[in-house]
Amino acid sequence: MSQDQQLDGFRDSTRKWVAANLPEGLKGKVLGMEGETETSLGADLQTWRALLAGKGWGAPTWPTQFGGGGLSHPEAKVISQEIAKAGGFNPIPLLTGMGTTMVGPTVLEYGTDDQKERHLPGIASGEVRWCLGLSEPNAGSDLASLATKATDEGDAFVLNGSKIWTSGADISQWCGAVVRTDNNAKKRDGISFVMLPMAQEGVSTKPIKLISGSSPFCETFFDDARADKADLLGDLNDGWSVVKRLLQHERQSQTSGSREANTDKETLADTAKRYVGEDSEGRLADADLRVRLANHLMDAKAHSLTVGRITAEARGNVEVSAAASILKNSATDVTQTRSELLLELMGSQGLGWEGDKFSEDELEHVRQWLWGKAISIYGGSAEVQKNIISKNILGLPETTQKG
């Protein structure tokens, strides 16, 4: 049997399993910033999470011994596609915060056997949420300037300092943090990556409210917080290597573009015609908007095909590399352009914040448009990605972040 035939068989069995097990109450719903909350989805969400975790589909490409599915990347893609076709979503990557997309893959590469056995199953099942302590008030794009200090006190590191933009810190059980362990070394050489429980006296958080009305972001404060020596990820003072890899995984996870609810909503072109109207030939009435909409749809299709081509060329072994920076910027452009076009074609109906004069979709779009401004900043700003592309892909000389 050929690989294509095997994949077709896997698709058929996946489709049947999803149809038999996806709770009706979750169809057409989304989880997180763009839609429903965990509480509003109730028991259906936990039932679906447990079923997916039982098959290892929370982290389908991870080894089965750590709660994964032991599957290939093409098979993992089939799972995502068939769940989406059924009108559902996989909640586990969202329930784990930074767990499945960033922490888990990095632990798989850098972690000890003990670290893998203790941390990965809880991520793969969606039962343990992780945040990341990276940026600081004075160390944003130049992350290596971080000042949070970790002092060696025998069997543990004691942390003092603060982090900012720590997504989900107020609801996470664990945090992966970059800290300074050698003040005398060059700034990139004296950094380590530690993992620590959030439920301790030395850790406190303060949510940061955004203009979109809600936010996962927090300030996080370490006041004699403790990280066990057994939870040092990678080598002491080589945390820069670990965090660079972790950030590559983050960019890789951000290459697909905008996330939308899996419903039967109309296409962008049909939405445009509904708001702007059609001419005598059935085309969008505004010729200039028509051209820009067509250009956007081509860009979105080109981006999607490029992601698919890279996956196909990898023959199931997708490598996370600097190329993720290209796709991250491309996904950002596609997502933000779509939001701007929607806002324009909706006119005044696209600027409502509350009230009966606006539909639920219109009010939601305003919040998505505002939230989407963060995409070109989080995960490393667009400018940072261009620096990575210039140095690691184009071979241009290093001109930034010396030291």
Domain region containing 323: 254-393
> 324 pLDDT exceeds 80?
no
The Cα-based distances of 113 to 66, 233, 243, 382 in angstroms read 10, 11, 19, 36
Q: Residue 188 in contact with residue 161, Cβ under 8 Å?
A: no
User: What value does the mean pLDDT take over residues 296-309?
Assistant: 86
Q: What does the pLDDT average to over 282-306? A: 90
- Which is more confidently placed, 48 or 255? 48
Q: Which residues of 246-256 are buried (b: 16+ CB within 10 A; e: fewer)?
A: bbbbbbbbbbe
How far apart are alpha carbons 370 and 39 in whole angstroms?
24
What the block records as the tokens of 337 is: 């352009």
The verdict on residue 79 lying in a domain is yes
Per-residue pLDDT tens over the stretch 144-186: 889 999 999 999 999 999 999 998 999 999 999 999 999 888 8
Same domain, 316 and 385: yes
- Supply the pLDDT for residue 377: 77
Instruction: Please check whether residues 282 and 325 belong to one and the same domain.
Output: yes
- Report pLDDT for 403: 39
CATH code where residue 382 lies? 1.20.140.10
Contact, 372 vs 335, CB < 8 A? yes
Between β-strands 174-180 and 218-228, what pairing exists: parallel, antiparallel or unpaired? unpaired
Among residues 95, 121, 154, the one where a domain terminates is: 95
In a domain? residue 399: no
Q: Tell whether 271 and 329 lie within a shared domain.
A: yes
82 with 207, same domain? no
For residue 123, tell me if it sits in a domain. no
Considering the domain architecture, whether residues 174 and 143 belong to the same structural domain is answered as yes
Structure tokens at 401: 């972040």
Is 115 among the domain residues? Answer: no
pLDDT value, residue 200: 97
Q: Dig out the tokens for 338 from the structure.
A: 């779509």
Of residues 34 and 246, more confidence is placed in 246
- Is the pLDDT assigned to residue 309 strictly greater than 80? no
Would you say residue 122 lies in a domain?
no
Indicate whether 246 belongs to any domain. Answer: no
Reported as a pLDDT band with limits 50, 70 and 90, residue 314 is low
Residue 193 in 3-state DSSP? strand
Say yes or no: 268 and 232 in one domain. no
> Is-contact 345 275, C-beta < 8 A?
yes
385 & 262 share domain: yes
pLDDT beyond 60 at 317: no
pLDDT of residue 402 exceeding 60, the answer is no
* Residue 23 vs residue 142, higher pLDDT: 23
- The number of distinct structural domains making up the chain is 3
CATH code (residue 63) = 1.10.540
Residues 230 and 264 reside in one and the same domain: no
Average of per-residue pLDDT values in the chain: 87
Task: Give pLDDT, residue 321.
Answer: 65
**Which carries the bigger pLDDT value, residue 37 or residue 127?**
127
Return the minimum-mean-pLDDT range out of 32-46, 104-118, 237-251, 367-381: 32-46
Confidence check: pLDDT of 271 > 70 = yes
Pair 191, 312 in one domain: no
Q: What's the CA gap between 351 and 328, in Å, rounded?
A: 28
What's the whole-number mean pLDDT along residues 209-222?
Answer: 84
Q: Does residue 225 lie in a domain region? A: yes
Q: What is the DSSP string of 304-332?
A: HHHHHHHHHHTTT-PPP-THHHHHHHHHH
Out of 239, 274, 308, a domain closes at 239
Q: Which has the closest alpha carbon to 272: 258, 261, 260, 287?
A: 287
Contact 179, 149 (CB under 8 A): yes
Find the mean pLDDT for residues 83-103: 93
| 163-182 exposure pattern, b = at least 16 Cβ within 10 A, e = fewer | bbbbbbbbebbbbbbbbbbe
| Length of the chain measured in residues | 403
Q: Which residues have C-beta within 8 Å of that of residue 142, sequence separation ≥ 6?
A: 401
State pLDDT tens for residues 54-82.
999 999 999 999 999 999 988 998 999 99
Query: Percent of the chain having pLDDT more than 90?
Result: 53
- Tokens read off for 257: 């573009």
Q: Are residues 385 and 260 in the same domain?
A: yes
What gap in Å lies between CA 329 and CA 132, rounded to an integer?
22
pLDDT at 307 over 90: no
**Distance (Å, whole) CA 42 – CA 237:** 44
pLDDT at residue 256, as a whole number: 58
pLDDT of residue 264: 46
Domain-embedded: residue 112: no
What pLDDT is recorded for position 144? 85
Q: Which of 121-125, 191-195, 287-291 bottoms out in mean pLDDT, i.e. has the lowest?
A: 287-291
pLDDT of residue 87: 92
CATH classification of the domain holding 140: 2.40.110.10
Using alpha carbons, select from 111, 11, 105 the residue that is nearest to residue 59: 105
Q: What is the pLDDT of residue 319?
A: 59
pLDDT at 260: 42
Do 341 and 384 sit in the same domain of this protein? yes
pLDDT confidence tier of residue 263, bands split at 50, 70 and 90? very low
Structure tokens at 158: 């004691």
The confidence band for 262, taking pLDDT boundaries of 50, 70 and 90, is very low
Q: Do 139 and 77 have their domain in common?
A: no
